[in-house]
């Protein structure tokens, strides 16, 4: 089915976002798939993308419905294994196992058949048939020495099944083989292998990694690597009086530093010097307004002239006599 150019571009943009976010953020990928589905629900590619987005978000019933719709539109059996895995996700492993025996499996390519074998082995384990799961995975593809896109996942599933039945030595061997074939890092075979060997890895950047004492090398936690925060030093005067709150809250203009305060032993400046006139005319007026002597000087002058007046009066009285 063809779409108008503008609509096709909108659908394509949403499908690109589905593919981009499918592994790292399945929920957002699912939201974009719903937008594309509303715009073009009759396009098989849109229904298939919506199915994978729902599958990644754990919405298995919805994913199965979308896969069935896409299969009806295309007539292809390519989605048969993932449809069976949706049955497992919905808690129906027996139906997934029944699908593994359907004629549609013969229509699958080699990769599809290996995927169907993986789903069937998982269904056996869901039903508690761990030995049967080991047998289900035994196949020519597993025994092949050639590395194919599915080789790492097949060997990993076989090693996990062996470990489930208590064959630890064989499981370790197949985990090692899975690691050799896993060039893309699709599995955690290296971690499983290290776990069987008793090797424990500590993440130096994980605050919950625990105590690293006894681990070779100087492994520091993030708290130890980061320098401690240094508090700014306050201007504290040791053994001095605590400043009054009123003084602390005063504006800066009212605060007088020690350098500006007058020394206690120095006399205060004379009022005449402080209030000295700025112009010459004011200076003349101030000179005329200044009294000739104060009261203390006048009293001393009167006392000095009193004996002279007395002597003069005595001489006058003697002449008259």
Higher pLDDT, 281 or 61: 61
- Residue 2: pLDDT band with limits 50, 70, 90: confident
Rounded mean pLDDT of 240-256?
A: 44
CA angle 283, 289, 293 (to 5 degrees): 120
242: pLDDT strictly greater than 80: no
Cα distance between residue 184 and residue 186, in whole Å: 6
Domain 1-74 CATH assignment equals 1.25.40:
yes
103-132 confidence digits (pLDDT tens): 999 999 999 999 999 999 999 999 999 999
User: What whole-number percentage of the chain has pLDDT above 70?
Assistant: 62
- Residue 15: pLDDT band with limits 50, 70, 90: very high
Mean pLDDT of all residues belonging to the chain: 77
Rounded mean pLDDT of 237-247?
A: 45
pTM: 0.62
Residues 6+ apart with CB under 8 A from 179: 187, 189, 190, 193
Higher pLDDT, 61 or 204: 61
Rounded mean pLDDT of 234-259?
A: 44
Domain boundaries, the chain: 1-74, 77-131, 138-200
Cα distance between residue 155 and residue 177, in whole Å: 7
Cα distance between residue 162 and residue 155, in whole Å: 11
pLDDT of residue 115: 97
Q: Which of 27-36, 220-229, 255-264 tops mean pLDDT?
A: 27-36
83: pLDDT strictly greater than 70: yes
- Angle (deg, nearest 10), helices 130-137 and 151-164: 150
CB–CB of 92/61 below 8 Å?
no
pLDDT of residue 199: 81
**CA 83 from centroid of its chain's CA atoms:** 38
pLDDT of residue 107: 95
Rounded mean pLDDT of 173-186?
A: 94
**CA 278 from centroid of its chain's CA atoms:** 69
Q: What is the DSSP letter of 278?
A: S
Q: Which of 152-161, 242-251, 255-264 tops mean pLDDT?
A: 152-161
Rounded mean pLDDT of 260-286?
A: 42
Higher pLDDT, 22 or 213: 22
278-293 confidence digits (pLDDT tens): 434 443 444 434 344 4
Helix ranges (DSSP H) in the chain: 5-21, 26-39, 44-56, 60-74, 80-89, 93-99, 110-126, 130-137, 140-143, 151-164, 168-181, 189-196, 222-225, 245-248, 271-274, 280-289, 295-320
């Amino acid at each position: 089915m063809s779409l108008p150019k503008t609509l096709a571009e909108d659908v394509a943009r949403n499908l690109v976002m589905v593919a981009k976010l499918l592994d790292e953020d399945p929920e957002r990928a699912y939201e974009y798939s719903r937008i594309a589905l509303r715009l073009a629900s009759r396009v098989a590619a849109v229904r298939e993308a919506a199915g994978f987005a729902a599958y990644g978000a754990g919405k298995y019933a919805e994913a199965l419905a979308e896969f069935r719709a896409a299969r009806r539109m295309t007539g292809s059996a390519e989605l048969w294994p993932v449809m069976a895995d949706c049955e497992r996700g919905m808690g129906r492993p027996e139906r997934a196992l029944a699908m593994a025996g359907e004629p549609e499996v013969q229509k699958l390519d080699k990769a599809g058949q290996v995927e169907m074998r993986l789903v069937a082995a998982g269904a056996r384990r869901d039903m508690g048939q761990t030995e049967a799961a080991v047998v289900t995975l035994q196949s020519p593809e597993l025994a092949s020495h050639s590395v194919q896109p599915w080789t790492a996942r097949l060997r990993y599933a076989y090693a996990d099944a062996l470990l489930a039945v208590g064959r630890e030595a064989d499981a370790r061997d197949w985990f090692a083989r899975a690691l050799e074939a896993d060039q893309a890092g699709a599995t955690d075979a290296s971690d499983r292998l290290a776990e069987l060997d008793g090797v424990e890895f500590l993440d130096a950047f994980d605050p919950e990694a625990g105590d690293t004492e006894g681990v070779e090398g100087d492994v520091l936690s993030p708290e130890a690597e980061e320098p401690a925060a240094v508090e700014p030093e306050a201007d504290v005067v040791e053994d001095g009086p605590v400043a009054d709150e009123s003084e602390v809250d005063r504006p800066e203009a009212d605060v007088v530093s020690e350098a500006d305060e007058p020394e206690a032993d120095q006399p205060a400046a004379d009022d005449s010097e402080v209030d000295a006139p700025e112009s010459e005319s004011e200076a003349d007026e101030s000179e005329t307004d200044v009294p000739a002597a104060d009261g203390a000087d006048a009293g001393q002058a009167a006392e000095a002239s009193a004996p002279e007046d007395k002597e003069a009066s005595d001489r006058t009285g003697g002449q008259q006599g």
